[in-house]
């Protein structure tokens, strides 16, 4: 952590006339196909995904235009394009990384907006002023997303279904070598909120929240591991066992934060991971996160740390997935002015690894989402921590940006853990203060606004392919 509806879904692929154009762009000779899907809708607001496919000649620079059917529909914010609106006419213009669209190429855009009265889908689209002529399709559903989901077999847990995980290409894959997405919650620092993690709270996380993943945040400093290595190691192992007995994956987080250079804790990391890897090597539910949020350190420094710690884990547990933190509080360098290219051009020399990405929805918006959209085609990413609020862990809950983020992660099959499953007196907490003194971890009486929304998202059926 950094300190410093059921929904209406409607898809439309339509014929129509030109609505907007970019004068200096190359026109698409034969039009396009657009899939416009409302993925979630709430009182007065909605989120939509827009998939644009170029059916004409290659373009270098594009503008997609459409008209909202009612005057009450307005774009609030969008991603993967520059969005503008004049009256009911909306224009989405390319950003640098998706400006070129070859014949048959697609790009995924998204927006959140507001409406008054009704919220019908647009009925005409144009690419660079040329009407879209893709084959019409439309669907109506009452699910919260447009992703087809497969309910797990009755009585089977995420670990029973998926078994030992591995990295295949840019995906997290199960025992059937099929890409999957894990969704779950992170603890707060177990040195402060250990009472929140007991049989009742983990039962609720599995049975009511339908969580696949339990991230165990073991701070190294801030009254954490360095004060009692044996005690904290034993507590992490006990929580791994509790997750295992309930069929959840356990993400062991070596929560380095201050100082930000993980090499400061290199010796401690080697000791800790040699012990937990040897102890848990035969378990199928363990994932290792070796450095939470490196900051103020170069990517080369992080890479050097990873290439010294990973062999320690592999010596005891050769099969488990290992997650490497990235520069600038695990933002792939974005929060310190860099980008994912530093990792792409100089990857960690190890196999079966993923790279961490963290975001806080009220602070990290379009440019961070654009980074993830680009990086996901080149790097295996795992959002080991995210919040619905600002990067401090406090501030106002940003539902709009949070929904945009989770929809993007769902679309890309990127696994995630929300910060935090705790009753901390901060707006990022899922539980209201005092909740961990009782036995209710799921009802509307104990959930914060953030917690209620996150629970509604992770408790939807998983999509775990088995063939």
Name every residue whose Cβ is closer than 8 Å to that of residue 447 and which is 6 or more positions away in sequence: 430, 431, 432, 455
Q: Looking only at Cα atoms, what is the longest distance across the chain? A: 69
Q: Is 385 tagged catalytic?
A: yes
CA distance 455 to 409: 16
Catalytic hit among 289, 293, 342, 426: 293
Catalytic hit among 244, 340, 342, 385: 385
Sign of CA dihedral 202, 208, 210, 215: negative
Q: HEC profile for the chain? A: CCCCCCCCEEEECCCCCCCCCCCCCCCCCCCEEEEEEEEEEECCEEEEEEEEEECCCCEECCEEEEECCCCCCEEEEEECCEEEEECCEEEEECCHHHCEECCCCEEEEEEEEECCCCCCCCCCEEECCEECCCCCCCCEECCCCCCCCECCCCCCCHHHHHCCCEEECCEEECCCCCECCCEEEECCCHHHHHHHCCHHHHHHHHHCCCCCEEEEEEECCCCCHHHCHHHHHHHHHHHHHHHHHCCCEEEEEEECCCCCCHHHHHHHHHHHHHHHHHHHCCCCCEEEECCCCCCCCCHHHHHHHHHHHHHHHHHHCCCCCEEECCHHHHCCCHHHCCCCHHHHCCCCCCCCEEEEEEEECCCCCHHHHHHHHHHCCCCCEEEEEEECCCCCCCCCCCHHHHHHHHHHHHHHCCCEEEECCCCCCCCCCCECCCHHHCCCCCCCCCECHHHHHHHHHHCCCCECCCC
Q: Is 336 tagged catalytic?
A: no
Name every residue whose Cβ is closer than 8 Å to that of residue 43 and which is 6 or more positions away in sequence: none
Cα three-residue angle 328-424-183, rounded to 5 degrees: 60
For the annotated catalytic residues, the residue numbers are 293, 385
């Amino acid at each position: 952590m950094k300190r410093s509806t059921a929904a209406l879904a409607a898809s439309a692929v339509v014929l129509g006339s030109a609505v907007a154009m970019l004068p200096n762009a190359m026109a698409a000779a034969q039009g396009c196909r657009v899939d416009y899907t409302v993925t979630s809708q709430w009182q007065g607001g909605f989120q939509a995904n827009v998939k644009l496919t170029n059916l004409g000649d290659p373009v270098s620079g594009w503008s997609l235009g459409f008209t909202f059917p009612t005057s009450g529909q307005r774009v609030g914010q969008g991603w993967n394009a520059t969005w503008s609106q004049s009256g009911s006419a909306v224009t989405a213009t390319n950003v640098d990384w998706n400006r070129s669209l070859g014949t048959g190429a697609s790009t995924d855009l998204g927006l959140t907006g507001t409406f008054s009265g009704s919220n019908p889908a647009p009925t005409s689209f144009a690419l660079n002023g040329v009407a879209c002529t893709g084959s019409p399709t439309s669907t109506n559903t009452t699910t919260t997303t447009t992703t087809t989901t497969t309910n797990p077999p009755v009585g089977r847990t995420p670990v029973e279904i998926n078994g030992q995980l591995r990295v295949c290409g840019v995906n997290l894959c199960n025992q059937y070598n099929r890409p999957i997405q894990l969704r779950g919650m992170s603890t707060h620092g177990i040195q402060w909120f250990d009472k929140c993690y007991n049989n009742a709270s983990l039962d609720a996380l599995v049975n009511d929240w339908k969580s696949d993943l339990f991230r165990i945040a073991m701070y190294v400093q801030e009254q954490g591991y360095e004060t009692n290595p044996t005690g904290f190691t034993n507590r992490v192992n006990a929580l791994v066992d509790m997750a295992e007995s309930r069929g959840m994956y356990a993400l062991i987080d070596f929560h380095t934060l201050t100082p930000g250079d993980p090499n400061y804790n290199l010796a401690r990391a080697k000791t800790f991971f040699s012990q937990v890897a040897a102890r848990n090597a035969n378990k199928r539910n363990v994932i290792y996160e070796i450095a939470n949020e490196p900051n103020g350190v170069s990517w080369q420094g992080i890479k050097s740390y990873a290439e010294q710690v990973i062999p320690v884990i592999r010596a005891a547990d050769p099969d488990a997935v290992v997650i490497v933190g990235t520069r600038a509080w695990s933002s792939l360098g974005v929060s310190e002015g860099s980008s994912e290219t530093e990792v792409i051009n100089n990857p960690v020399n190890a196999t079966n690894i993923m790279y961490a990405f963290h975001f806080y929805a009220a602070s990290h918006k379009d440019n961070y989402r654009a980074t993830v959209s680009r990086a996901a085609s080149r790097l295996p990413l795992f959002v080991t921590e995210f919040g619905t609020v600002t990067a401090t862990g406090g501030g106002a809950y940003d539902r709009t940006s949070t929904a945009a983020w989770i929809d993007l992660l769902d679309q890309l099959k990127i696994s995630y853990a929300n910060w935090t499953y705790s009753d901390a007196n901060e707006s990022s907490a899922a539980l209201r203060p005092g909740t961990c003194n009782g036995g209710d971890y799921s009802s509307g009486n104990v959930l914060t606004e953030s917690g209620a929304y996150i629970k509604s998202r992770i408790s939807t059926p998983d999509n775990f392919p088995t063939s």
